[in-house]
Chain A
Amino acid sequence: MPVPAVDHTLDEIMNLAAAHFKVPREKLTPDDDFFKTLGIDSLQALDLLTRLEHHFRIELPDYELQGVSDFRTLANRIQARL
């Protein structure tokens, strides 16, 4: 299966985050601090990671979130596992 481009991955992450946390999609940008724009804590961010795992069919260890707070970096971490 071809690996999607990182921009596509980024877009899917933001779509999913917006839907899951009920935030208007247009309010999210790639360099947003997702803790702040989504209004979530670190446990809810782990919950987002679970959703992303199901969506991309990959397994992401918790530590992949360490030090990550923007969608772009998260997309790069996910992209590396696709």
Chain B
Amino acid sequence: MLDLRQYASLGAALQDALERWPNETCLIEADRDREKMRLTYSDFREMARPLCRALEDADFKPGDRAAIIMTNQSKWLISAYSIFFCGGVLVPLDYKLTAAEHLQLLAHSKARFLVVEYYLWRAMTQSPEFPKLTVEIALVTEAPAGADLRGAYRWEEFKRKGEPQFVARQREDTACIVYSSGTGGRPKGCVLTHDSYLEQCTSLTAWYPFWPGVRYLSILPTNHAIDFMVGFIGPFVCGACVVHLRTLRPEFVRDAFVRYRITYVSLVPMVLKNLERALRAKFDEMKPGERWMLDRLIGLNRTLTRRRPRVNISRRLLPQVHKAFGGELLALFVGGAYTDPGTLQFFYDLGIPVACGYGLTEACTVVTLNDLKPFRPDTVGKPLPGSEVRVLNPDGDGIGEVAVRSPAVMSHYLNDPEQTAQTIVEGWLLTGDLGRFDADGQGHLQLVGRRKNMIVTAGGKNIYPEDIEAVFDGLPVKEFCVFAENYLWPQKTLGDEVLVLVARLEQNQQLDDRFFEELVARNRRLADFKRVGGYLLWEKDFPRTASLKIKRGELAAEIGAGAERKSVVEI
């Protein structure tokens, strides 16, 4: 791999990578069972060059912000590289947000440029908020012939001849602004420097190296911190190959493992669970004798891999299982949300190590990761090299808030010094997650809950109640507030996280059908993973500040002490 200590920016490192391995395949783009594109590092550079020149001609200046809203595909990476090449700041936005949310975050980030897929651009142009679009130049990919692009350019035609001029950046310059949440009221744009990414990449690849010939299957969205690092920066600075699949249909994902002989893949717990379900169903279909034999072999594999993974032995013991994953798989990475230790153990026993980690956008990508020496499904691993992790004010069980200090931690939240000051204290990032170090003395971290009012879904989405409350404005009640259930009633477990709407009725108001209908109808305006799971009626007025804002912390404490979890009514 490249020695990243020698580079001042992602752009410089990526530029060298394209020259270092001209004939290696860097990118494969497949849609279902059709391969749409296969690029070498040299091809990639040739495709990026005219875009870089066109950006120069469009007066793209160093430090200009450019957003990308796309599903995983080659044009995502080519555009990102071109933005870095021109000295720009990348703003990767979640393509699953609504058009109104996209427009809001584009305005907050002050992005001058936008690269967007046609169907997402079309939704934005149809939004009532579209006239407020602040972007100056939009490049739309894959637009059908004759489509009205409302002033945007076709990405495929936005190119100029000639040699573009590389724009150098310094380590402390901003590389990316990544939104960890905040579409409702207060956007949290994490400002991450080139230093953050280069340091994080060095640490990660020290434990899980890439090299030419390695194939990484990229199915998590590339705008997500994990895939951006291990599905773009990491493989590219090591001469490896990224495989994009433009569908998440389980049957095509399974095929892709085999067709492209995948080495690594990152998943969120929901996808891992889905894979487990499919495998268990297959095992259940086996004849009794075959099943008996499989169970014995799994048991033998478990014994032989107790101290560390032994992939070659596992592949010989359980060839059918490994063939189904392409036969070259070294590890699955999983993170972004709570993962059931039983699921992790299920895969490990099959000889497929799952490296479970813990990270947050504020810390670039990953804070802790399992190094599999030995496999510890009950923990989220050890701090990566270069990261310091502390448990603040531990209670009698050693549990306290997890704090992180590392070069990878963000510099600040964009335009929010107040929130930054609350989150980064004396150089330590306060994560809001509760954890403890395992008694093994090896530094394994166990997460046991959250201190902050938020949930993380099995799909790896952070949902902050403040972000969704606006949908319930107008609910026929005196006042309401949304909380994470585990914030109201803290418990030392993770998983099954739900949001609860707490409502205070008007005096003499009776609960009627209109309340339920409005609640359900408004809830359904939210994306399925953002919905409130239950409601609770509260009989006291909410405590408020002088400016009439709800004192959320105080209210949560009152509810936690005055009501029981079981009084929440499921919607």
A67 to B249, CA, bound (A): 17
Q: State whether the Cβ of A7 lies closer than 8 Å to any Cβ in chain B.
A: no
Q: Are A42 and B459 in contact (CB under 8 A)?
A: yes
Which residues from A are CB-within-8-Å of B557? none
A46 to B270, CA, bound (A): 13
A62 CB contact (under 8 Å) in B247, B527, B529: B247
A49 to B274, CA, bound (A): 16
Q: Are A70 and B524 in contact (CB under 8 A)?
A: yes
Q: State whether the Cβ of B168 lies closer than 8 Å to any Cβ in chain A.
A: no
A33 to B96, CA, bound (A): 18
Q: State whether the Cβ of B208 lies closer than 8 Å to any Cβ in chain A.
A: no
Q: State whether the Cβ of A29 lies closer than 8 Å to any Cβ in chain B.
A: no
Q: How many A-B residue pairs lie within 8 Å, measured between CB atoms? A: 42
Which residues from A are CB-within-8-Å of B458? 41
Q: How far is the CB of B356 from chain A (nearest CB, A)?
A: 19
Q: How far is the CB of A18 from chain B (nearest CB, A)?
A: 19
Q: Are A43 and B274 in contact (CB under 8 A)?
A: yes
Which residues from B are CB-within-8-Å of A33? 524, 528
Q: How far is the CB of A28 from chain B (nearest CB, A)?
A: 16
A42 to B271, CA, bound (A): 10
Q: State whether the Cβ of B290 lies closer than 8 Å to any Cβ in chain A.
A: no
B96 CB contact (under 8 Å) in A50, A66, A70: A66
Q: Are A67 and B274 in contact (CB under 8 A)?
A: no
If over half of B's interface residues share one DSSP class (helix, strand or loop), that class is named, otherwise mixed; here it is: loop
A77 to B165, CA, bound (A): 45
Taking residues whose C-beta sits less than 8 angstroms from the other chain, chain A's interface range is: 10 to 19
Binary contact readout B106-130 vs A (1 if CB under 8 angstroms, 0 otherwise) = 0000000000000100000000000
Q: Are A46 and B250 in contact (CB under 8 A)?
A: yes
Q: How far is the CB of B63 from chain A (nearest CB, A)?
A: 32
Which residues from A are CB-within-8-Å of B459? 41-42
Which residues from A are CB-within-8-Å of B248? 43, 46, 62
Which residues from B are CB-within-8-Å of A41? 270, 274, 458-459
Q: For residue B247, which residue of chain A has the nearest CB?
A: A62
Q: How far is the CB of B90 from chain A (nearest CB, A)?
A: 22
Assuming the contacts A41-B270, A66-B96, asked whether A46 and B528 have C-beta atoms less than 8 A apart, the reply is no
A46 to B251, CA, bound (A): 10
Binary contact readout B258-295 vs A (1 if CB under 8 angstroms, 0 otherwise) = 00000000000011001000000000000000000000
Q: Are B270 and A50 in contact (CB under 8 A)?
A: no
Q: For residue A62, which residue of chain B has the nearest CB?
A: B247
Q: Are A62 and B524 in contact (CB under 8 A)?
A: no
Q: For residue B571, which residue of chain A has the nearest CB?
A: A36
Q: How far is the CB of A33 from chain B (nearest CB, A)?
A: 6
Q: State whether the Cβ of B170 lies closer than 8 Å to any Cβ in chain A.
A: no
Which residues from B are CB-within-8-Å of A70? 524
A1 to B98, CA, bound (A): 36
A71 to B119, CA, bound (A): 21
Q: For residue A40, which residue of chain B has the nearest CB?
A: B528
Q: For residue A31, which residue of chain B has the nearest CB?
A: B524
Q: For residue B527, which residue of chain A has the nearest CB?
A: A67
Q: State whether the Cβ of B71 lies closer than 8 Å to any Cβ in chain A.
A: yes
Q: State whether the Cβ of A15 lies closer than 8 Å to any Cβ in chain B.
A: no
**Interface positions of A from 20 to 70, Cβ below 8 Å from B:** 33, 35, 41-44, 46-47, 49-50, 61-63, 66-67, 69-70
Q: For residue A47, which residue of chain B has the nearest CB?
A: B250
Assuming the contacts A41-B458, A42-B528, A70-B524, asked whether A62 and B249 have C-beta atoms less than 8 A apart, the reply is yes
Which residues from B are CB-within-8-Å of A47? 249-251
A46 to B32, CA, bound (A): 13
A69 CB contact (under 8 Å) in B249, B270, B528: B528
**Interface positions of B from 456 to 487, Cβ below 8 Å from A:** 458-459
Q: Are A63 and B71 in contact (CB under 8 A)?
A: yes
Q: How far is the CB of A12 from chain B (nearest CB, A)?
A: 20
Q: How far is the CB of A81 from chain B (nearest CB, A)?
A: 13
Assuming the contacts A41-B270, A43-B271, asked whether A50 and B251 have C-beta atoms less than 8 A apart, the reply is yes
Q: How far is the CB of A10 from chain B (nearest CB, A)?
A: 17
Q: Are B249 and A46 in contact (CB under 8 A)?
A: yes
- A selection of 25 A-B contacts at a CB cut-off of 8 Å is A35-B528, A41-B270, A42-B270, A42-B528, A43-B248, A43-B250, A43-B270, A43-B271, A43-B274, A44-B274, A46-B247, A46-B250, A47-B249, A47-B250, A47-B251, A49-B249, A50-B249, A61-B247, A62-B249, A63-B119, A66-B96, A67-B98, A69-B524, A69-B528, A70-B524
Extra contacts, 6 of them, besides A46-B248, A62-B71, A69-B528 (Cβ < 8 A), are A42-B459, A42-B528, A42-B529, A43-B271, A62-B247, A69-B524
